[in-house]
Amino acid sequence: MTPSEISQLAAVAALSVVAGICFGQARPEASTGAGVSAAAAQPFALRPPQFTAEQVSRGKAAYAASCAACHGPQLQGNGPNPPLVGAAFGERWHGLTPDGLYGYIAGQMPLSAPGSLDPKLYADVATYIFQANGLKPGTVAFTPQSEAGAETPMLGPIKKDAVYTAAMAAQQSRLSALTPVTDEMLRRPPPGDWLIWRGNYAGLGYSALHQIDRHNAHSLQLAWSWTLPQSANEITPLVHDGLIFIKSGNVVEAFDGATGEQLWKYVRRYAPWMHDGRTEIVKNLAVYGHLLYVPFLDGHLLALDDRSGKVVWDHPLVTPAEAASRLPGIMDSSDAQHFLMVADGGPLVAAGEVIVGLAGCSNDYRGGCFIVGLNSQTGQEDWRFNTIARPGQPGGDSWNGEPVDQRFGGSVWLSGSYDPQLNLVYFGIGQTYKLTTLLPRRPGANNDALYTDSTVALDPKTGRLVWHYQHFPGDVWDLDWAFEQMLVDLPVGSGTRKLVVTAGKIGVFDALERANGQYAFSHDMGLQNIVTAIDPRTGRKSIDYKMLPKPGGPGEMFGNGVCPYARDEPATAYDPSTHIMYVPVLDDSCPDPRHEFDGRFGRLEAFDLVSGKRVWMQRHRAPEISSVLVTGGGVVFDGSLDRNFRASDAASGQVLWQVRLNNAPKAAPITYTSSGRQYVAVVTGGEFENLPRPSMIPESVSPDSATTLWVFALPER
């Protein structure tokens, strides 16, 4: 080594005691406070950081603007905020790599707005800290290599007292005790777990738990809460063995479901334009074995170890290069990354496959979206099903004679359902947005546009289409028959019909035989005006074609008086013991009012699926914003845009309990047990611009962010 290299290495060794963090490794256990071992310093010492004076200059300015208020203008520390320079820096922390320093401050700082700076500025701030601790700039810029997507490090003070040691041991014991999720658990989830988006493979939004019931629900109170990273919400937490797993924005966290203690945290670094996922929606995660499957806004699906948050595998569902090849007018993959499909609905694990549908295929994506099956252990793509039919396939001639590159849409907005006995997965597929593809209809052509507005039943191991049923052919009104697929066993005479039941935006529920897709019956909630009749044999819907939109005209999707929005993505719940369905409804959503309006936009309706008769109905001033949860205790939970979250009697609709939260519960409530106690959880916050709030309830205002996990329980005895 040259003298300068030796000097640099010595400075690096000094800086390697930086942050009490083994970045991307297990939480450090070494050190008794007498100093840091050479072994702790070695990983950093073997890879000294290179950086430039220009970076340091920018970093100094960024530090002054965003960091100095907490850590002092000279990095000397300020009260509880530790110094970032000198011996005290090294005494408090150990084992930090250059990339680790960048990864930590980029994921955690500033505390008031983590991740709010440009990634380049975070790198510059890191170089300012490098120089302050004795390292010398050179001619090569510091470019973090491996920390994008790495776990956020846990702080590890050198001097650990007995309380800290006991707490860490208890947390590790809690994580180590996690049992692997088996196929049998997914088929028959333990009552206290919430392992799948709507609670079970059937997608019912139902839990058999009954500790909280219609007699004591009025006593519900806050157990704990946690502020999550900002996102567009629609979140469903998962629960296993009393631990909660949740994703918001670019962060995945694990909590003790009884105490709210955070057990681990994973942060994925995004490109600057993604703003750390503040507009991101992921409705669902999935878990199998010890792997937690998580989709991200950058088009990747990751498998994390549910005991630590560490990445096991990382699979790109759609790459920028693939996006560029399918986006007209976009030739550069660096531009195409802004148009990646999204996995909003989240994954489903069935027959050892991780199955997820892609969405976001609007007027730009040639050939539409797809559903993909990945090997649960390796992330390898095993199959892909295109949601827009190709020539030569069933339905391939249903696109008005247009070639594949003029067929658009077919988004999969929600996770699927699964029947293990039939070994079939069921997904709903959205509409097309490109009206000019279907209108006007060419002589002799078919413009049904499969598989839009359809339920598809696929083999989970191969992706083979077993059957399909199109609920609304040739949809040019954005009616979007793409919602939850509920698998219900309905009594008929002395037997049982195994059905899949789903509805579109117009509030018409279709029931199909699960085995073959044969039409069974429909239930019209009476909120739409576009369907004039339904064929009782086939379910084919007759349309009032006076409402046909004019392509290119103003409001082409929703013109001519059509009333499509009886319901949207907030999911319905179904009680298998009573056969009652609970539907969140956006009432009076027509462009032109049909009747005198009383100022109430929200509606929760219960109807008997056997008889088709309404059981009860609640009317609310504010639109429904949450999915519905029904429990074995005879309680229904739902929430509205005015920030109210409520529990009602499932039999009568009487409101038993209501609380006003910090923001609207735009999510799916769940219930679970931890340490023998039943809890109800829901996430508040999100984006609400898709709802015409100013014209509906202008008196109700919610914060712009405030994404928060709320957990409620009965008082402890």
Domains in the chain with CATH codes: 3-142 (1.10.760.10), 194-263+570-717 (2.140.10.10)
pLDDT of 544 > 70? The answer is yes
Reply yes or no on whether the pLDDT at 89 is more than 80.
no
Is the per-residue pLDDT at 463 higher than 90?
yes
Residue of 504, 626, 602, 582 whose CA lies nearest to 234: 626
More confident residue, 436 or 649: 649
What 3 state SS string does 560-617 have? CCCCCCCCCCCCCEEECCCCEEEEEEECCCCCCCCCCCCCCCEEEEEEECCCCCEEEE
Tens digits of residue pLDDT in 597-606: 778 889 999 9
pLDDT of residue 595: 54
Comparison of pLDDT for 208 and 478, the residue scoring more: 208
pLDDT for residue 93 is more than 70: no
- The pLDDT, as a whole number, for residue 598 is 79
Token pair listed for 13: 């060794």
How confident is the model over 499-509, as a mean pLDDT? 96
Residue 321: the pLDDT is: 80
- Torsion angles phi and psi, residue 531, rounded to 5: -90, 120
DSSP string, 663-717: S---S--EEEEETTEEEEEEEE----TTS-HHHH-TT----S---EEEEEEPPP-
pLDDT range class, residue 558, cuts 50, 70, 90: very low
Give the model's confidence band at 294: pLDDT under 50 very low, under 70 low, under 90 confident, else very high: very high
Cα gap 352→461, rounded to integer Å: 8
| pLDDT at res. 667 | 96
242-275 pLDDT tens trace: 999 999 999 999 999 999 999 999 988 887 788 8
Interatomic CA distance for residues 608 and 305, integer angstroms: 42
39 has a pLDDT exceeding 50: no
pLDDT of 642: 92
Is pLDDT larger for residue 564 or for residue 183?
Answer: 183
Task: Give first-to-last CA distance, the chain, whole Å.
Answer: 69
How far does CA 314 lie from the centroid of its chain?
17
What mean pLDDT value characterizes the chain?
Answer: 85
Q: In sequence order, what are the beta bridge partners of 373?
A: 355, 383
What is the token pair recorded at 54? 């220009």
Supply the pLDDT for residue 271. Answer: 79
Please determine, for residue 591, whether its predicted confidence score (pLDDT) is greater than 60.
no
Interval 161-185 mean pLDDT: 93
Does the pLDDT at position 185 exceed 80?
yes
- Mean of pLDDT values over 93-103: 70
Mean pLDDT of 345-368: 92
Taking the whole predicted model, whether its pTM rises above 0.75 is answered as yes
51 has pLDDT over 70: yes
pLDDT at 25 (0 to 100): 30
* Higher-scoring residue by pLDDT: 545, 550: 545
pLDDT of residue 156: 41
The Cα–Cα gap between 17 and 348 comes to: 43
Q: What is the per-residue pLDDT across 111-127, written as a single tens digit (0 to 9) for each?
A: 766 667 777 888 899 89
Decide if pLDDT at 567 tops 50.
Answer: yes
Predicted local distance difference test score (pLDDT) of residue 590: 60
Q: How confident is the model at residue 22 (pLDDT cuts 50, 70, 90)?
A: very low
Question: Environment class of residue 317 by beta-carbon count within 10 Å: exposed (0-12), middle (13-18) or buried (19+)?
Answer: buried
| Tokens standing for residue 64 | 């002054």
Percent of the chain with pLDDT over 90: 61
Q: What is the mean pLDDT of residues 224-234?
A: 95
Under 8 Å between Cβ of 476 and 557: yes
pLDDT at position 574 over 60: yes
607 pLDDT higher than 90: yes
Q: So what's the pLDDT on residue 47? A: 60
